[in-house]
Amino acid sequence: MSPARRGLFVTFEGVEGSGKTTQAELLGQALQARDAVVVREPGGTELGERIREVLLFGGMEIDAEAEMYLFMAARSQLISEVIRPGIDAGQVVVADRYPDSTLAYQGGGRGLATYWPPAFPKPDITFLLELPVEGGRMRQLVAGKKADRVESEPSDFHDRVASAYDRLATDEPQRFARMVQNACGWSRRAPPVMQPIGTSSSRWCRLNSA
């Protein structure tokens, strides 16, 4: 009897308006043969969706640390109910945001001391969609999207978030795939020494063969 096939965990990160949700959904559709599961943060569970409403649309002032722990509580529930069971079942799990968002937004944007909880599984690969902050905000404006509480923060906050993402990707080049947009869509921004996509990492190989 052959061993059970291990699942694959993929996450998407980036500043507001970079297209994370769209790309996560497209990847999930492309991998339906693997019974892909697409989740968003905060959300994806009954608790997570309630926390999402409070955090993004509740219209109340929220302390920065309280905000961070609410995001983490929603994430913990999502891991317990959806992410870990999906990985254990051999599925492809695609997440629109994950703890890197906390490190970037609450750590970089708000200046809090942040960390990655040991109980939170690491993704096999994280796609960082790199788009200038103003470009992302313009895309949201053109689309007519009403800004939520976090999106409404001033530009300097979002600049700090982008800088934090840059540091995170620099610190973990084996996990992050830094993507830039061009006329044909998104492509990988290769570091100075990098083999072609599909050969440089077992994670890419597993994704390509999923």
Q: Over the stretch 30-80, which tens digit does the pLDDT of each residue have?
A: 998 888 999 999 999 999 999 999 999 998 999 999 999 999 999 999 999
Q: Percent of the chain scored above 70 by pLDDT?
A: 85
User: Whole-prediction pTM value?
Assistant: 0.85
Starting at the edge strand found earlier in the chain, the sheet holding 185-188 runs: 37-40, 92-96, 8-14, 125-130, 176-182, 185-188
Strand blocks (E) in 15-155: 37-40, 92-96, 125-130
Q: Which residue has the tokens 């990988």?
A: 188
Q: Which domains does the chain have, with CATH numbers?
A: 8-209 (3.40.50.300)
